[in-house]
With several copies, the nearest count.
Chain A
Amino acid sequence: MQFKILPIKENRKLNSRYFVLKVPDKSISAQSQPGQFCEIKDLESDEPLLPRPFSIYKVEENTISFLIKIVGETTRNLSQKKTAEMISILGPLGNGFKIPKNKSVLLISGGIGYAPFPFLKNKLQKNGNEIQWLHGGKDKYDIFSYDITNYTEDGSIGKKGLVTDDMPFILGKNDIHTVFACGPNQMLKKVSEICEFYKVELQVSMETIMACGMGVCCGCIIKYAENGEVIYKKACKDGPVFDGRKVVWDE
């Protein structure tokens, strides 16, 4: 884990909703695993006070990048950052995905849940896994790649429907060892029900509001069922990747 103040190397707008922030880095990347994240703070504005967690999207030679959705103040500010403006980065944080070897795996992403998967896919491939990837969104603006199976609610691209629609079929037909999922809680809950039914391992990446990002403040709790008891896990340290079948999905 490192804390660095780095200049923006590239800020690429994908559409009105998403952008990719790239910063020069070797050392954080070198330590990073898919599913880990960094806490990023815009150094030009005092507010918000807290840095914000973003999954590591891509690790390339000499750079690390983040795929970001504009939802509030920090993400709006970051979307307007220009090359050479400074941000702070704390990371890598969290546990990251466990990578199986030579298995069939299924990736399910919804919206910005796409972010940690390119890095994950890379590692999965290196470990000889066979990968299917379903991605879903509201509309075409939520679609990032044509090389995967896309679903949109409005049918503007890919199949019309939810990313979970075909999951039972796929899990029923194929010998999937692990499902990896990232996206809105509702989607994750649905995915976990399906995986529970088909008794397939599930690794989900969870989102919560965080402060320290390193397991100190106990602010980022996820409810988790273990041995018939609900316990609290720290999303930033015990997670953000959890066994999706044990996460307690409140309404």
Chain B
Amino acid sequence: MSNLEIQIGGMKWKNPVTVASGTFGYEYDELFDLSQLGALVTKTITLNPKKGNEPCRLAETRAGLLNSIGLQNPGVEEFITEKLIKYDKYKTNLVVSISGSTIDEFCQIADKLNPYDNIDAYEINISCPNVEKEGLAFGVEAEVVRELIAKLRATTDKDIIVKLTPNVTKIEEIARAAAESGADIISLINTVLGLAVDIETKASRIKNGIAGYSGPAIKPIALQNVFRVAQAVDIPIIGMGGICNTEDALEFLMVGASAVAMGTANFSNPLITLDIIKGLEMYLGKNNTNLREIIGSFKLQ
């Protein structure tokens, strides 16, 4: 059996397969043993509870999904008292995704979560397109990212994963700002900005208007961004965006991701993560190779 183990940041993952924030939770426990995953990533948590956006929040388009959940979550306090403990029993890494609308908010959340040893890393969601002013995430400016990550770095020894948005001109600049200010890992891509119109009502099919686009349709965009970021920084990358099967996962590893995450695909097949773990194992065995040889093996030309 191939060894899928990877070292990523300060963590050891038993395999390079995890889940995309907001698409997976301990509820999947009923279907399989979540300890089998390389890591678990929670839905994004904010300082205060968030009710989320008005429904309708979902719209399927050709090969893609639009969503505008609006970061609905119980807030960090309730997360700690009600949810965190549920992750205790899984023998895998726990990544808590956090977001705020000011740098201070991010730091306050981290301060509250820092004492909990079962949290291995934070994923810093600076990319959700739905909540920031003007519809743009504040993760679109390198200087803001630099300041945010530097401040967070000072508060914690846990791994810091910075999750990037693809909705920028030069993603390399944002990635570099994150790496230089102390991020351990970069994850990408968050959703692409998208819109679908109901021609009957002449309104957005998503009540909140512009939404986040995910699924197979964004895979070429995600691969392009992961590749560019892999060229720009030396820290490891968790790649995601439209991954549906082992071949997709391999594409991401080849362009430079050290691990992959499935989002929308969990909805089509709740066992997709296990399928891909098995698929990677088989691929490595069949091709008599290992992860190290695969990761970043892509040559642009």
Chain B 16-58 per-residue mask, 1 if CB under 8 angstroms from chain A, else 0: 0000001111011011000000000001000000011011111
B247 vs chain A, min Cβ distance (A): 14
Confirm or deny: A113 has a beta carbon within 8 angstroms of a beta carbon on chain B.
no
Partner of B58, one of A88, A216, A219: A219
How many chain A residues touch B (CB < 8 A): the figure is 30
A48 near B60 with CB under 8 A, answer: yes
- Expressed in whole angstroms, the Cα–Cα distance for A192 and B215 within the complex equals 38
A222 near B271 with CB under 8 A, answer: no
B27 near A218 with CB under 8 A, answer: no
Q: Which of A55-72 contact B (CB under 8 A)?
A: none
Chain A residues contacting B60 (CB-CB under 8 Å) are: 48-50, 209
B24 near A216 with CB under 8 A, answer: yes
- Expressed in whole angstroms, the Cα–Cα distance for A154 and B30 within the complex equals 47
A3 touching B65 in the complex, CB below 8 Å, given contacts A49-B264, A212-B266, A216-B28: no
Chain A 182-205 per-residue mask, 1 if CB under 8 angstroms from chain B, else 0: 000000000000000000000000
- Expressed in whole angstroms, the Cα–Cα distance for A211 and B269 within the complex equals 11
A230 vs chain B, min Cβ distance (A): 9
Chain A residues contacting B65 (CB-CB under 8 Å) are: 49-50, 211
Confirm or deny: A38 has a beta carbon within 8 angstroms of a beta carbon on chain B.
no
A218 near B268 with CB under 8 A, answer: no
Chain A residues contacting B67 (CB-CB under 8 Å) are: 211, 217, 219
Partner of A217, one of B22, B30, B62, B271: B22
- Expressed in whole angstroms, the Cα–Cα distance for A1 and B271 within the complex equals 13
Confirm or deny: A220 has a beta carbon within 8 angstroms of a beta carbon on chain B.
yes
- Expressed in whole angstroms, the Cα–Cα distance for A194 and B22 within the complex equals 39
Confirm or deny: A232 has a beta carbon within 8 angstroms of a beta carbon on chain B.
yes
Chain B residues contacting A214 (CB-CB under 8 Å) are: 27-28, 30, 270
- By Cβ-Cβ distance, the 6 closest A-B pairs, closest first, are A221-B55, A219-B58, A216-B25, A211-B267, A218-B72, A1-B30
List 25 interface pairs A-B (beta carbons < 8 Å), by A numbering: A1-B30, A49-B65, A49-B264, A208-B55, A208-B56, A209-B60, A211-B65, A212-B266, A212-B267, A212-B270, A213-B267, A214-B28, A214-B270, A216-B25, A216-B43, A217-B23, A217-B267, A218-B43, A218-B52, A219-B58, A220-B57, A221-B55, A221-B72, A223-B54, A223-B55
